Amino acid sequence: MSAAGCRLQCTMAAGRARSGCSLRAAGAALVVVTALLAVGCSCSPWGQDDVDRLREWQERQDERLLQQQRALEERQRLSDDLSLERQYLRTDLQLHRERQQDERQTERDARLNDHQRLRDDLLQERQVEQSDRQLHRQTLQDQGLDERQQLHDELDRDREREVEDQRRAREQLSDQARRDRERTDREREREQGRREREQQRREQEREREQQRRERERDLREQRRRWRRDADDTADDKNTTATTTTVKAADPPPQPATGKSYEGAQLWRVQIADGDVANLQRVEDDGVAQIWYSNATVWDLMVSAENQPHVRKLLADNKLAYTVVIPDMQRAILDENPSLSDDELELTSRKGHRMTWQHYHRVTDMHGWLDYLANTYPSICETLVIGSSVEGRPLKVLHIKGKPGSPAMWVDGGIHAREWITSASVSYMLNELVENHDSHRAWLSAVDLYVLPLANPDGYEYSHAGDRMWRKNRRRGGGCDGIDLNRNFGYKWGGKGAGPQPCQEIYRGSAPFSEPETSAIQSFVLARKASLKSYLSFHSYGQYVLYPWGYDRFVPPDHEDLQRVGTKLANAMRATSGLSYTVGSSAALLYPASGGSDDWAKGQAGLKYAFTIELRDTGRHGFVVPSSHILSSGKEVLAAVRTLAQEVAAL
């Protein structure tokens, strides 16, 4: 080391010492000085003061060093304490951590335990639940079984019930069948009874027929005997003349009941033209009945015994004929079949015995008229306007109109054998009364007086004595009966009416000589002011006829009659389809005086006087089967309604 170097270091060390720098710098400086002293470095510039101060400084320095040493030691001690403390703390921490860990472990263990327990509980619960469910299922199954069993039981019961029902139904059916059988048996018995009764009836009829034939044979025998006697006494007269004489002198008596028409026939004769005088005589001579005649056709009913005679007569007059009804007796038997027991029972329950399937006797018809009057007193009444020759009442049914209404007269059955007229007029009456409501409108505008049986004696006789009876039952004068439709007092005794009692068209001894006609006369004249029409039903031929009948003239208002007559015909055709010819009687048919319509028009002054000839046009003649009653009745109803409208409009 150089002296310069030595000096620098000394300065530096001194500089540091003076400036009093930091403890460490002081220490370093001390170290340096010490070292320098040790190496013999002498800083030559410094005197004794300096060395004293240096010593002093040295001493302070030492002291400071000592202090520092002590501080260091203190610090060391503190640091030791600290580290110890730290040690302690660490241990504590360790301990604490361990404890915490232990606690956490315990806690975890507890939680685990809890969990375990929970799981166990859960498991247990689940088991319990499962077993419960098992149990429930078992129960359900058991219940299902029970229900199924019940269902089975019910089904069984149902089946049993069904079987029982079926058995009962079978029993009922068999009961029913048995009852039906019994009923059928009863019916068969009844039918048997009926058939037997019918048989008996037929036998009785046959017997009666036999007796009657015997009687007739006797009569014929007697007649032949008379003829022989006459021949014996009058040699100069031939047989025909003798017969006529005998007949006129001593006509054979009518059989009391059931005149037979065995072998009789209806002949239709075609008339060429004009001269029918010979033909007219057949009726007067009693060899045939004239049922119908117009300008071209005559219907003759000829008995078996007279057929050869009439046949010859026709041949002599060159007249052709056809047989319309070959067996009159058969036709009569078929005309009016008796009512069955059922029908009879039914009718008797109604309060009267009338039907429209059968031609009834006078008592049935009169009973029914009374029934109507008693049952419907506000609609109708019966008026007895007189009585017949034999004392039967002449019963008019009055169907009442509004007070002051114009009146109409209607009758049927004035000719006994024309059964269809009384039956049809009766049907009309029944309909008007029983179904009054449906006819009220037009009925209330007229007063309707209807006499269905204008000739009750003749009608009864045509049932019980002679089906072909025409006149009333006046006795005496050689032959019974007067033709009531020749007995009215207008132009009485003119053409087409006979003066001889044995004639079918015998006019009687005087106008209105008969109680039947005079009763009508009195009744009509008493109501002359209100009566506006006179309608008389006849058969057959299908005509609507208006006056005059006595001859081929017509009244001044014939156009009105023709017009209204045409309306009637149209109304009738509308119900049945049958056509009716309209015209004045004498012109259409033949002159016949003393008829009711002529009198009503000519004497009583009723405007609308008509005679309607009902069905048919010859097929059945007067023997119209009862099955026609309804249809014919409807025609009559239509005609009366139409005429009522004309009368109301007058």
Ligand X SMILES: *[C@@H]1O[C@H](CO)[C@@H](O)[C@H](O)[C@H]1NC(C)=O
In angstroms, what is the minimal distance from the CB of 540 to ligand X? 9
Tokens representing 247? 């007949």
Q: Within 169-208, which residues bind ligand X (CB under 6 A)?
A: none
- Closest to ligand X by CB, 184 or 270: 270
Pairing of strands 289-293, 447-451: unpaired
**CB neighbours of residue 630 within 10 Å:** 14
DSSP 7-71: HHHHHHHHHHHHTT--HHHHHHHHHHHHHHHHTT---TT--HHHHHHHHHHHHHHHHHHHHHHHH
Hey, what are 406's tokens? 């114009």
Judged by CB under 6 A, the residue of 6, 28, 41, 297 near ligand X is: 297
Contacting range for ligand X; rule: CB under 6 A; set: 1-9, 277-285, 289-297, 528-536: 289-297
In whole angstroms, how close is the CB of 622 to ligand X at the nearest point? 14
Relative orientation angle of helices 419-434 and 436-443, to the nearest 10 degrees = 100
Indicate whether 155 belongs to the interface with ligand X (CB under 6 A).
no
- Any contact of residue 363 with ligand X (CB under 6 A)? no
Contact 219/186 with Cβ under 8 angstroms? no
> Does residue 294 interact with ligand X by CB under 6 A?
yes
Least distance in angstroms from the C-beta of 587 to ligand X: 10
**Residue 295 binds ligand X, judged by CB under 6 A:** yes
Cβ-based nearer residue to ligand X, 515 or 541: 541
Start-to-end CA span in the chain (Å): 194
Q: State the minimum distance, in angstroms, from the CB of residue 236 to ligand X.
A: 10
Q: Which of the stretches 11-19, 56-64, 294-302, 346-354 binds ligand X when contact is defined by CB under 6 A?
A: 294-302
CB 212 within 8 A of CB 255: yes
Contacts of 168 (CB under 8 A, 6+ apart): none
* Least spacing, CB of residue 224 vs ligand X, in Å: 17
Evaluated on CA atoms 214, 217, 222, 225, the torsion sign reads negative
Token pair belonging to 157: 């019961």
Tell me 369's DSSP state: H
The nearer residue to ligand X, 347 or 576, going by C-beta atoms, is 576
Beta-bridged to residue 302, according to DSSP, are 265
What is the amino acid identity at position 36? L
Min dist. Cβ of residue 563 to ligand X (A):
20
Instruction: State the minimum distance, in angstroms, from the CB of residue 571 to ligand X.
Output: 20
**Binding to ligand X in span 509-568, by CB under 6 A:** 541
Query: Shortest approach of ligand X to residue 301 CB, angstroms?
Result: 15
What lies within 8 Å, CB to CB, of 247 at 6+ separation is 285, 286
> Tokens 């309604």 sit at which residue?
641
- 307 binds ligand X, rule: CB under 6 A: no
Question: Is 296 among the residues that bind ligand X (CB under 6 A)?
Answer: yes
- Quote the least distance from Cβ 342 to ligand X, whole Å: 38
Contacts of 164 (CB under 8 A, 6+ apart): none
The nearer residue to ligand X, 570 or 617, going by C-beta atoms, is 617
Indicate the residue among 199 and 296 with the shorter CB distance to ligand X.
296
Contacts (CB under 6 A) with ligand X, residues 618-637 = 618
Q: Which secondary structure element, helix H or strand E, spans residue 395, and what is its range?
A: strand 393-399
Of 143 and 238, the one with the shorter C-beta distance to ligand X is 238
Structure tokens at 562: 């023709």
Beta-ladder partners of 382: 397
Distance of CA 61 to the CA centre of its chain: 156
Handedness of CA 52, 54, 55, 59 (dihedral sign): positive
Phi, psi of 322 (to 5 degrees): -125, 150
Residue 220 beta carbon to ligand X: minimum distance, rounded to whole angstroms: 21
Question: Is there a catalytic annotation at residue 613?
Answer: yes
Q: Which residue is nearest to ligand X (CB)?
A: 238
Q: Which stretch binds ligand X (CB under 6 A): 190-198, 292-300, 322-330, 599-607?
A: 292-300
Choice among 216, 613, 635, 646 that is catalytic:
613
Q: Are 455 and 498 in contact (CB under 8 A)?
A: no
| Distance in angstroms (rounded) separating the CA atoms of residues 584 and 582 | 7
Q: Which is nearer to ligand X, 68 or 617 (CB)?
A: 617
Strand-strand pairing, 581-584 and 531-539? unpaired
Contact by Cβ (8 Å): 496, 505: yes
Cβ 598 to ligand X shortest distance, Å = 20
CA distance 252 to 222: 9
Residue whose CB is less far from ligand X, 316 or 437: 316
Among 68, 500, 617, 645, binds ligand X (CB under 6 A): 617
C-alpha dist (Å) from residue 154 to 147, 149, 352? 10, 9, 62
Nearer to ligand X, 421 or 542 (CB): 542
Distance, in Å, from the CA atom of 29 to the CA atom of 34, rounded to the nearest integer, reads 8
Q: Which residues inside 219-238 make contact with ligand X, applying CB under 6 A? A: 238
For residue 519, CA distances in Å to 190, 395, 598 come to 47, 11, 17
Size of site (CB under 6 A) for ligand X: 10
- Beta carbons of 412 and 453 less than 8 angstroms apart: yes
Contact between 245 and ligand X per CB under 6 A:
no
- 231 vs 434, beta carbon nearer ligand X: 231
Q: Which is nearer to ligand X, 313 or 482 (CB)?
A: 313
The residue ranges that bind ligand X (CB under 6 A) are: 238, 240-241, 294-297, 541, 617-618
The residues annotated as belonging to the active site are 613
